[in-house]
A and B are shown apart, each in its own frame.
Chain A
């Protein structure tokens, strides 16, 4: 990214941080958390400890970071190197990202930026100009992606509440600031679990590693009565709804499943993983030392804010998470697909000079699809 672009982004980010201090709060148990940040074109600075909102605001003003992070873990000494921090516990966290959902719409709003010659295109494999295969993919907003991510969030919350008895008030859902959602679980029985245990929890939620016996199917002489029923809780109940469809079909479908045999049942389960498993990123959930994007901070992939969703079903990130101002700026835009922010349509632009509100300019520059003139 060139210096003018960085200066423009830093000015815009600084203004946001100055105008919206009320939105950027340190989490509970502040002094036990590790904070970190990145600046545009710089690596990560981490192992920082902060006392309160005031110190955080000072850090933001002094450094104008592109991204700000805070640990889900609590430590005795958050500012020491990792193995001296003395890990105490960590909130359970989940990341649901539209890019992991294998949606058909992706191809329509993904732009490739060639890392060799900087050409922007909608090509998926090769740069149309220099034939390089080194392409950086940038995705632009799409309501379909957000709607599907929301469905995954809903499925996740259902499992957390029904299977793991987590109080709904202890589940906080945030729009990530780009294309997905971050879900936090506070004060649960899982606070002190290590990474391997959390990986098991992730597999449970992903519906991964499941064996036919769990659903009553055996290699030899399967017994009809051990197949799941509608009234059952947990995955057996969800299996019933998905595989039988209705109570009247249960008996017939069990007969079919038994006739088709064990290995066919196994493939049925694999198909189910894709359909009923919740598509969380397991790497995030099992990381107990992660510094996770700080709520209220800006995401440098978009210039949008990581925002708390009070009612996720009604939440529109491309209106409610866009807080940068409307001041008109001039940019050179090379953005082959259309996008919508604050209810306004933008693009496509074919390497042209345009005047545009700051929030949209930041959005495109963050995606490397425009530069300031």
Chain B
């Protein structure tokens, strides 16, 4: 674990050992519920969650990564730790997710600032070490850029769907990708969120503490706001329509296209017998082989693995994607036409 100074713990509170921190400072959780001087910290923790639930980043008392006054610093850490306690007591996973994401965005800002810090080399080194220790990305400084190995870049960038993150749209040289401080930190946003999320999920849930009941019940009602349901239009996405078209015309659909079509329809609940006739017009149609392959994909023969429909990204590479505006940034054809309603 990294050795952190008080500044760093305030910026990256998720790196601290929560129990140890409280002990070091000489507090118990119960005190926060009963001591009128400490109670305001619970309100602060509640605010921190509420802001996150709204999709915003909590504004801290740290100004330009300097603590405004000495006392603000532990308050920053306490409000984070107490927020986790409240979340655990409420047991609301949607809120935990939103909180982790917002906290990741907040930490991202500090990481970026530390990376770009020209005057204080130690701050930069700490940011580089946080990134290396937590996410195994080796960042090196080269001129005005940060460079990371192509393989490390790919392991993280594949989580992004925006085209600018594709390797082809990056400056690649000598086995490395060149990034600005902003991009370097952006690259690990999701993992940072996942890291914070897992820290919260894995934290022990304490017994209800006197004085915590009210904010916890407020969190439960807050989380109801985010309940969603999904409606489907039932229309096929353009890639699937295209594949069916090609087959209907008796033209050759490549293996990858047949794989996509079959796995898509199987996922939509069609049976092997319903799907097989689609391939009748294929130039190399053989009923026995088609049924064998469909059963294999459905998992009813062979290893029993049921194959899933390939992602939009994969289909793009295979030239099977014919995206239209209605695709609306979905990541798998199966999501086409699904709309969330609140």
A residues near B (Cβ < 8 Å) are 81-83, 115, 133-136, 162-166, 189-190, 192-193, 196-197, 199-204, 206-211, 213-214, 233-236, 282-283, 286
CB distance from A49 to the nearest CB of B (A): 17
| B157 sits at the interface (CB 8 A) | yes
Q: Are A164 and B175 in contact (CB-based, < 8 A)?
A: yes
B59 within 8 A of A: no
Determine whether B250 belongs to the interface, using a CB cutoff of 8 Å to chain A: yes
B300 on interface, CB distance cutoff 8 Å: no
Check B316 for interface membership: any CB of A closer than 8 A.
yes
* Residue of A with least CB distance to B159: A196
Asked if B169 is at the interface (CB within 8 A of a chain A CB), the reply is yes
The residue on B at minimum CB distance from A234 is: B172
CA distance A201 to B157 in the complex (A): 12
Given the contacts A83-B305, A193-B151, A235 and B173 also touching, CB distance less than 8 Å: no
B175 partner residues in chain A, CB cutoff 8 A: 163-166, 189
A208–B313 touching, CB < 8 Å = no
* Option from A81, A135, A204 in Cβ contact (under 8 Å) with B283: A135
Chain B residues within 8 Å of A133, by CB? 250, 283
- Kindly provide the distance from the CB of B98 to the nearest chain A CB, expressed in whole angstroms: 26
Tell me which residues from 149 to 199 in chain B have a Cβ below 8 Å from any Cβ of chain A.
149-151, 154-155, 157-158, 163-164, 166-176
CA gap between A234 and B150 in the complex, in Å: 13
Establish whether residues B150 and A164, one from each chain, have CB atoms under 8 Å apart when the complex forms: yes
Q: Does B317 contact A202, Cβ atoms closer than 8 Å?
A: yes
Closest to A198 in B: B154
Q: Are B173 and A209 in contact (CB under 8 A)?
A: no
Question: Is B256 interfacial (CB-CB < 8 Å)?
Answer: yes
Contact residues of B: prevailing secondary structure: mixed
Give Cα A214–Cα B167 distance, bound, in whole angstroms: 11
B305 near A283: Cβ-Cβ < 8 Å:
no
Q: How far is the CA of A206 from the CA of B164 in the complex (A)?
A: 16
Is B39's CB within 8 Å of the partner chain A? no
The answer to whether B167 and A189 have CB atoms under 8 Å apart is no
> A165-B175, A208-B317 provided; 16 other pairs, C-beta below 8 A?
A82-B303, A134-B285, A189-B150, A189-B175, A193-B155, A196-B158, A196-B311, A196-B314, A200-B166, A204-B167, A208-B168, A209-B168, A210-B166, A211-B163, A211-B169, A233-B172
Q: What count of chain B residues pass the 8 Å CB interface test?
A: 33
A25 to B176 alpha-carbon distance, docked (Å): 34
Is residue B143 contacting chain A, with contact meaning CB distance below 8 A?
A: no
- Once the chains bind, are B169 and A213 in contact (CB under 8 Å)? yes
Whether B158 and A163, one on each chain, are in contact in the complex, defined by CB atoms closer than 8 angstroms, is: no
- Give the residue of A189, A203, A210, A211 whose beta carbon is less than 8 angstroms from that of B149: A189
Can you list 26 pairs linking A and B with CB atoms under 8 Å apart?
Answer: A81-B303, A83-B305, A115-B284, A135-B283, A162-B173, A164-B150, A189-B150, A190-B151, A193-B151, A193-B154, A193-B155, A202-B317, A203-B168, A204-B166, A204-B172, A206-B317, A210-B166, A211-B169, A214-B170, A233-B172, A234-B171, A234-B172, A235-B168, A282-B317, A283-B256, A286-B314
Question: Given the interface contacts A83-B305, A133-B283, A135-B283, does A200 sit within 8 Å of B164 by beta carbon?
Answer: no
User: Is the beta-carbon distance between B314 and A209 smaller than 8 angstroms?
Assistant: no
**CB of B301 closer than 8 Å to a CB of A:** no
Determine how close the nearest CB of chain A comes to the CB of B126; give it in whole angstroms.
26
Measured CB to CB, the nearest residue on chain A to B155 is A197
| Separation of A170 and B168 alpha carbons in the complex (Å) | 23
A113 to B200 Cα, complex, angstroms: 64
Q: Please give me the residue from chain B that is nearest to A214 by CB atom.
A: B169
Residue in contact with B318 in the complex, picked from A163, A189, A193, A282, CB distance below 8 Å? A282
A-B CB proximity, top 6 nearest: A165-B175, A197-B154, A189-B151, A214-B169, A233-B173, A204-B167
Complex contact A209–B154 (CB within 8 A): no
B298-313 CB contacts (< 8 Å) to partner A: 303, 305, 311, 313
Given A200-B167, A204-B167; A286-B317 close (CB under 8 Å): yes
Chain B, Cβ-Cβ closest to A136: B284
> A210, B164: Cβ atoms under 8 Å?
no
Contact of B154 with A200 in the complex, beta carbons under 8 Å: yes
Query: Taking the nearest CB of chain B, how far is it from the CB of A83, in angstroms?
Result: 7
**A300-B311 Cα distance, complex, nearest whole Å:** 34
The residues of A that contact B313 with a CB separation of less than 8 Å are: 196, 199
Chain B residues near A286 (CB, 8 Å)? 314, 317
Distance of B170 from chain A, by nearest CB (Å): 8
Closest CB-CB distance, A79 to chain B, in whole Å?
14
Q: What residues on B are CB-neighbors of A196 within 8 Å?
A: 158, 311, 313-314
Residues of B within 8 A of A207 (CB): 168
Does B164 lie within 8 Å of A211, measured CB to CB?
yes
Task: Select which of A197, A209, A235 is within 8 A of B163 by beta carbon.
Answer: A209
For B285, the closest partner residue in chain A by CB is: A134
B283 lies within 8 A of A134 (CB): yes
Check A197/B173 contact, CB under 8 A, given A235-B168, A282-B317.
Answer: no
Report B-chain residues with C-beta under 8 Å of the C-beta of A192: 151
Contact with A along B255-271 (1 / 0, CB 8 A): 01000000000000000
Q: Is the CB of A199 within 8 A of B151?
A: no
Instruction: Find chain A residues with CB under 8 A from B151 CB.
Output: 189-190, 192-193, 197
CB–CB A203/B155 < 8 A: no
Contact code string B291-331 (vs A, CB < 8 Å = 1, else 0):
00000000000010100000101101110000000000000
A135 to B174, CA, bound (A): 46
**Which residues of the other chain, A, contact B174 by a CB distance below 8 angstroms?**
162-163, 165, 233
Instruction: Report how far A25 CA is from B305 CA in the complex, Å.
Output: 33
Q: How far is the CA of A278 from the CA of B251 in the complex (A)?
A: 26
| Residues in A whose Cβ lies below 8 Å from that of B167 | 200-201, 203-204
A225 to B316, CA, bound (A): 31
Q: Which residues of B contact A203 (CB under 8 A)?
A: 166-168, 316-317
Q: Complex Cα distance A204/B173, Å?
A: 13
Q: Tell me if A200 and B157 are in contact (CB < 8 A).
A: yes
Which chain B residues numbered 224 to 278 have a C-beta less than 8 Å away from chain A? 250, 256
Q: Assess whether A199 is in contact with B314, with CB atoms less than 8 Å apart.
A: yes
Give, as a whole number of angstroms, the nearest-CB distance from A136 to chain B. 7
Q: How far is the CA of A206 from the CA of B167 in the complex (A)?
A: 11
Instruction: Please give, as numbers and ranges, the residues of chain B lying within 8 Å of A211 by CB-CB distance.
Output: 163-164, 169
Shortest C-beta distance, A44 to chain B (Å), equals 12
Q: Which of B166, B170, B303, B313 has the most CB of A within 10 A?
A: B166
Distance in angstroms from B5 CB to nearest chain A CB is 34
Residues of B35-63 whose CB lies within 8 A of A: none
* B317 adjacent to A204 (CB under 8 Å): no
